[in-house]
A = this chain, B = another copy of it.
Amino acid sequence: METGELNHYAARYKAELLDNIIPFWTKHSPDMEHGGYFTCLSREGDVFDTDKFIWLQARQVWLFAMLYNEVSPKTEWLHLAIDGAEFLKKHGRDTSGNWYFSLTREGKPLVQPYNIFSDCFAAMAFGELYKACKSNEYRQIAVDTFHNILKRRTATKGIYEKQVPGTRPMMNFALPMILCNLSLILEDVVGNQSIEQQVTELANTILSTFYQKESGLILENVSPEGHFVDSFEGRLLNPGHSNESMWFLMDIGTRFKRPELIQQATDILLRTTEYGWDKQHGGLFYFLDIKGHPTQQLEWDQKLWWVHLETLIALAKAYKLTGNTACRDWFETVQDYSWKHFKDPDYGEWFGYLNRQGEPLLTLKGGKWKGCFHVPRAMFQLWRILEA
């Protein structure tokens, strides 16, 4: 950090990652009997449900492989990643190579491959693990899955799509957003050249199609031509999603030397954080309607861990890359809120779901959607950004 003002926080994030978060997952999460991980963990770390959700299995494989690659080549971490990968390899796909959404503890398929993000996180997992152990089998799974995602990208839900085609087509922000991140992770795995072209296109799609100039905000769903659609889906804002994608764009801007991309991402990040902040109770809203109408999502006013942690990563990166002091100020505000409300003072890991007032709504440390991913990734990212 050029100004040196925030790097005293680096040690705090490093310690939180290595002394609190990772030990929680290495202790409570491994399924010694059937392989893979338990992710539904109570406040104290007890397993309350044994189903295995592909998103969370794959994200945990990625996380431990990434720690092995980026922090320290600990055998324990590599073994944990391989144990999850073997479970996924054996049970995770249907006969066409599509990744299921969830499995039983033993690995029997429960929910069909209707959700392409299962595939995205699987590609991310096997790509990162290939870098760790150079297994060509893992590399091939990553490459095949990545190509399958690209093949399915215009009709991601396949036969499970409930929208009637043609009436009011819309594009969703999530896939291009996640592909930005996934493409960089897989750069050395699938080959550099195609990746550079692809991320350039993805960044353009986000900034020309989903970005709305008048409001300065990212829309979650737009028409294929990038127009606003006045419907529940079309009016939807997801500040956490938008902020997370801004640090993906900053990474692309850094990797391919595009300072104007970093600048634009910083502007959108600041605008979104200001817009999404709850002036009454603090914290960032989960969902908003751009016209101020009621959202479909009843959980709109809740404060979610990943929204705040992804925003912190983006603000820290933006400050480091641009020196814009508004990023530093917002970083301090979001950081204060996060440590005060999400960190559990009595048990390991962080709370995930708070009500609008900032009190725990669910005291779980892991569930169907919260696993070993956003908290440790953020701790790692913030440690490295802030110490530099």
Given contacts A162-B160, A232-B49, A355-B356, contact A298 B361 (CB under 8 A): yes
Interface size on A, residues (CB 8 A): 43
Given contacts A49-B232, A231-B51, contact A104 B168 (CB under 8 A): yes
Answer yes or no: A62 CB below 8 A from chain B CBs.
Answer: no
Nearest Cβ on chain B to A209's Cβ, whole angstroms = 21
Q: A208 to B367, alpha carbons, bound, how many Å?
A: 31
Answer yes or no: A136 CB below 8 A from chain B CBs.
Answer: no
Cβ contacts under 8 Å, A300 to chain B = 362
Prevailing SS type, chain A contact patch: loop
Q: A300 to B302, alpha carbons, bound, how many Å?
A: 12
- In chain A, positions 29-52 with a C-beta closer than 8 Å to chain B are 40, 42, 48-49, 51
Given contacts A298-B361, A361-B301, contact A293 B160 (CB under 8 A): no
Cβ contacts under 8 Å, A159 to chain B = 159
- In chain A, positions 332-375 with a C-beta closer than 8 Å to chain B are 353, 355-356, 361-364, 367-368
Cβ contacts under 8 Å, A167 to chain B = 104, 108-110
Q: A296 to B299, alpha carbons, bound, how many Å?
A: 12
Cβ contacts under 8 Å, A163 to chain B = 110-112
Q: Which residue of B lies closest to A234 (CB)?
A: B49
- In chain A, positions 108-145 with a C-beta closer than 8 Å to chain B are 108-112, 114
Answer yes or no: A101 CB below 8 A from chain B CBs.
Answer: yes
Cβ contacts under 8 Å, A356 to chain B = 355
Q: Which residue of B lies closest to A367 (CB)?
A: B294
Q: A298 near B299 (CB under 8 angstroms)?
A: yes
Q: A232 near B51 (CB under 8 angstroms)?
A: yes
Q: A369 to B231, alpha carbons, bound, how many Å?
A: 15
Q: B48 near A294 (CB under 8 angstroms)?
A: yes
Q: B294 near A164 (CB under 8 angstroms)?
A: no
- In chain A, positions 223-248 with a C-beta closer than 8 Å to chain B are 230-232
Nearest Cβ on chain B to A223's Cβ, whole angstroms = 14
Given contacts A111-B163, A167-B109, A353-B298, contact A293 B48 (CB under 8 A): yes
**Residue interface bits A291-307, CB-to-B below 8 A is 1, else 0:** 10111101111100000
Closest 4 CB pairs of A and B: A298-B299, A294-B362, A109-B164, A48-B293
A interface residues, Cβ below 8 angstroms from B: 40, 42, 48-49, 51, 100-101, 104, 108-112, 114, 159-160, 162-164, 167-168, 230-232, 291, 293-296, 298-302, 353, 355-356, 361-364, 367-368
Known: A48-B294, A110-B167. 9 other contacts (CB 8 A): A49-B232, A110-B164, A294-B363, A298-B302, A298-B353, A298-B361, A298-B362, A299-B299, A301-B361
